[in-house]
Structure 1
Amino acid sequence: MVQRFLRSSGRAALWSGAVALIGALGLSGANAQYNIGRGPNASIGHRMPNITTGPGLRYMPGLIVPLDMGEPPPPPPRRTGPPPGDPPPSARRATPPAAADSRFVAKELVIEVDGTPTEAEIAALARRFRLTRLEQQAFPLTNSTLFRWRIADGRSVRSVASAITASGAARATPNFRYRLQQAASGAGDATRYPLVKLRLTEAHAVARGTEIVVAVIDSAIDARHPEIDGAVTASFDALGSKEGPHKHGTGIAGAIVSHARLVGSAPAARLLAIRAFAGAGGGAEGTSFGILKSLDFAVARGARVINMSFAGAEDAMLARALAAASARGIVLVAAAGNAGPASPLLYPAAYPQVIAVSATDAADRLFTASNRGKHIAVAAPGVDLLLPSPDGKYQVTSGTSFAAAYVSGLAALMLERNPALTPAELRERLMATARDLGPKGPDDQFGAGLADAAGALAAAVEATPVSSMSSAPSPQ
């Protein structure tokens, strides 16, 4: 019937008008749904919009189009403004800005200038790039001056950092965030298995870390705890905060120097208590600028070992500073990280000058949250550990943070035994004497294996390298 109607050329125009009317009344739309996950690792996902498409017509029950309509009505006037009912453009919701990158502090930069710039040069730099100076620090480790700046307008951190570096006026990076690597412990009884696993009793018959200075860049340490009392020779607060002792920093110090009810890996070592992290819980945060200030203090105060039980993003400025510290003969030890097997590399552990440490439990199994990678040097106990906590208390805790602290103590023992060891030689001997775990040979979980204090001390005094093992495997 429709075909017969269309063949009637006199009524084709009428049908076109009807089609236009139907199209105007039959609006199709889109329907989108979003699912928001809940829980400790909440995620936001979405399903693609379910869009109804068609040739412009939709079946509408009850709509009758008479075939004999006479002349079609004139077309509606062409609309030039927004559709009826739409708000004016100025009232429409703007596209939300991209989420801020949580890896660094919003609107902040760390800028490094060679030497000591004059006030006039600093002011010119601020005007040129429209920055507000927050803090500055002389940095003899790299013969430069460090600045912390704020971006006052809406420019992105990365775009401003790139512009400054490209100009050649200075080196600029975001002020990256780092987190302490402490995890919740299981409900099982804590034991003192590190003493046995690391063969500390045998090692302490030879060396106890006497007078070796170990810098702990961490949260605040309770220096009056019976396990730590008398071990802290100097303190530095890179944050200038009034926050009291923290369980993470106190636990790290205890893993190294405990000497009351517990036994640390280097009970006679001397600590530099450096506070660069603040916040509640084991995940207290620090920044690139605070860590760089802490490194400067550690080097100036004669640290032979620097413990870094934190992890975060790669930072070219921090990498340069750590390379300079290693070149001065300072042994660098860091937690591999607690982000699990699927995590990308975390730093500073993945820098080639750093001894990266993963964590094991009392049965020599890898800590499930431990990061993996070919940069892992050795493993050490880091699960369900009994360690000191502020106010004379004790805690049961886990994490690669504490495994790294035990290895920092082992490094102090080795340096007492042979003060002439270079960082590369110490690393090589530590790895060569480790007890192999997991797949045969070095692997991405345990590195060379479980650290052995007694074996490492024996190797420390040998005149020639004990192995051809690479002293700084490339992280992959």
Structure 2
Amino acid sequence: MAAKAVVLHAAMLAATFVGAPAVAQTNDPNLSQKQIDCLSRTTAAGADCEDGAKNGGGQSGAGNAVGGAVFLPSLIVDLFPNPPARPTPAPTQPAPPKSPTSSAAPAPPPSGPITPPTGLNLAAPPRAVSGEFVPDEVLVTVAGDAGAVQRIATTLGLQVRSQRQSRLLGTTLVRYGIPDGRPVGVVLAQLAADGRTQRREPNHIYSLQQAAGIVNYAFERIALDSKQASGENVRIAVIDTGIDDTNPALKGVIAGQFDAMPNVPIKKRDHGTSVDGLIAGVGALEGIAPGAKIYHARAFEGGKSSMDVILSALDWAAEQDVRIINMSFVGPKNDLLGTACRNARALGMVLVAAAGNNGPKAPYGYPAAFDGVIAVTATDAKDGLMPQANRGAYVFLSAPGVEMVAPSGTGSDVVTGTSFAAAIVSGAIANLIHAAPDRSADEIEKALAATAKDLGPKGRDNDFGYGLLDIKAAGAAKE
């Protein structure tokens, strides 16, 4: 999927989202840290900021243009990470026109028993051959005609099984058989002593790379056996973008849907589809908690939403009697959102949220920074921290979230971001609840903190929180 940015014009946003006034967290890379801090303040009109900071330093009034909006944590980073720099390939010459392959008639194999030659001088010790190969054949290029090909076979006790003039190799390619059981490495060394041969290789075996299924590296990193993973019948609410519920990875996964912004057309389905799939996907893109039931609330379009829309989605989720709420979005502190999260936790729900993708100096991201919400940051396949991740004392747990294969609105994609790390944690918690349905939200949170694999500085830190999720240890933790 080609990388591209998702942009929603301020005029559309103002016409679409109506809610309690709030200043949105911005993802504008041109703003200074002071300007970002001013945009995140909840004081009326940023009273103690300079005019230039209020207006994004002259960047088209960024702070005022997005009033009342809450951002997914840098959706551009989540779904369209900057691709690694790649060297520009050198221009290639046009391929020559195709022509029929010319073939010399293979010489008949020698009649009668073949006696292996003795006393041959090996030009090199027997070669160590790696990879799978046909055990009784070698491939050789020969300078000469069919007579030369046969003379080599007779000298070394080989069979000519096929020969042809290779256009791309520019010479005769011969497939010799080894009828007496000599190791391929020995025969290659014997051929190297014959000046009539040019190149000598094993007849290696290759296979098509069609995978029956893709096991996400997250399973290994969080100590969860993919064959035993299950969130069967655990009810999980996801508040996100619209989804592609026709994606095979979501077949039978979505138990209910709610559109918190029905008057806004759905244009993007990638983010929500990826989050749902990582949690409970089926088939080739199996999620962390197969069998879990997803209650999906669409509350974002163009990467943005408003507080009233999100609260509407949260209310709907609470009515579905879910055990887990996944919130892969970030915005400013809002007391209404804080109250809603606190009350959801009091009802026994486990709240999981993305820590944010706006960099080490970004302000705290909410709802992740509220008490009682498990704030998740993203690590890669080697447990390294995603460079764009937010930092702070509110970070609770680390989980895989860098370059993972996930379903999307266009089939599948490679995704990166704390959004997806949060989905991994939500799926892992579903496994805990499936194994022990009576386990409370408080008990789950304590077990996750006590058993996390410490990363970075010793103990809880602002980068990794308590460390990398270890679901096997958390499942075995005693209360």
Does 2:289 align with 1:272? no
Structure with the larger strand share: 1
Which residue among 20, 42, 55 is the counterpart of 1:110? 20
Distance change >3 Å, CA 238–CA 108, structure 1 → 2: closer
Between the two proteins, the alignment pairs up a number of residues equal to 298
* Contact 2:73 2:357 survives alignment (8 Å): no
CA distance in 2 between partners of 1:270 and 1:109 (Å) = 30
Which residue among 179, 182, 187 is the counterpart of 2:72? 179
TM value normalised by structure 2: 0.58
Answer with 326-335 or 264-273: which moved more.
264-273
Does 2:230 align with 1:208? yes
Residue 308 of structure 1: aligned partner: 327
TM value normalised by structure 1: 0.58
* Contact 1:180 1:248 survives alignment (8 Å): no
**1:181-227 CA distances to partner (integer Å, 9 max, x unpaired)?**
4313354799832121112216x52x501100110100011122111
**Counterpart mapping for 1:46-125 below 5 A:** 109-110=19-20
Q: Which amino acid aligns with 1:271?
A: I
CA distance in 2 between partners of 1:180 and 1:272 (Å) = 21
**1:48-68 CA distances to partner (integer Å, 9 max, x unpaired)?**
xxxxxxxxxxxxxxxxxxxxx
Does 2:316 align with 1:297? yes
Does 2:281 align with 1:258? yes
Q: Which amino acid aligns with 1:374?
A: A
Q: Highest Rg: 1 or 2?
A: 1
* Contact 1:377 1:448 survives alignment (8 Å): yes
Distance change >3 Å, CA 335–CA 251, structure 1 → 2: same
Give 1:242 deviation, angstroms: 3.1
Paired residue secondary structure (1:250):
helix
Which residue among 375, 379, 382 is the counterpart of 2:401? 382
Paired residue secondary structure (1:201):
coil
Distance change >3 Å, CA 364–CA 244, structure 1 → 2: same
Answer with 403-412 or 449-458: which moved more.
449-458
* Contact 2:19 2:306 survives alignment (8 Å): no
* Contact 1:223 1:230 survives alignment (8 Å): no
Does 2:447 align with 1:442? no
Residue 424 of structure 2: aligned partner: 406
Give 1:231 deviation, angstroms: 0.5
**Counterpart mapping for 1:21-32 below 5 A:** none
Q: Which amino acid aligns with 1:195?
A: F
Does 2:329 align with 1:419? no
Does 2:431 align with 1:394? no
CA distance in 2 between partners of 1:107 and 1:267 (Å) = 35
Ranked by relative contact order (alpha carbons within 8 Å, sequence separation 6 or more), the top structure is: 2
Give 1:176 deviation, angstroms: 4.4
* Contact 1:104 1:177 survives alignment (8 Å): no
The CA RMSD over aligned residues, in Å, is 2.9
**Counterpart mapping for 1:130-209 below 5 A:** 175-182=68-75, 183=77, 184-185=80-81, 187=83, 192-201=216-225, 205=228, 207-209=229-231
Q: Which amino acid aligns with 1:430?
A: L
Give aligned-pair identity as a percent: 39
Distance change >3 Å, CA 379–CA 219, structure 1 → 2: same
Paired residue secondary structure (2:367):
coil
**1:227-285 CA distances to partner (integer Å, 9 max, x unpaired)?**
11100000000000331551100110111012211221111110011100001xxxx10
* Contact 1:175 1:289 survives alignment (8 Å): no
**1:341-369 CA distances to partner (integer Å, 9 max, x unpaired)?**
00111100000110000000111110000
Distance change >3 Å, CA 108–CA 387, structure 1 → 2: closer
Give 1:373 deviation, angstroms: 1.0
Q: Which amino acid aligns with 2:426?
A: S
Q: Which amino acid aligns with 1:248?
A: H
* Contact 1:341 1:372 survives alignment (8 Å): yes
Distance change >3 Å, CA 108–CA 260, structure 1 → 2: closer
CA distance in 1 between partners of 2:215 and 2:403 (Å) = 7
Q: Which amino acid aligns with 1:273?
A: H
Give 1:409 deviation, angstroms: 0.6
CA distance in 1 between partners of 2:472 and 2:15 (Å) = 43
CA distance in 1 between partners of 2:363 and 2:373 (Å) = 17
Q: Structure 1: any 5+ residue segments left out of the alignment?
A: 1-39, 41-99, 112-156, 161-173, 465-476
* Contact 1:176 1:288 survives alignment (8 Å): yes
Residue 13 of structure 1: aligned partner: none
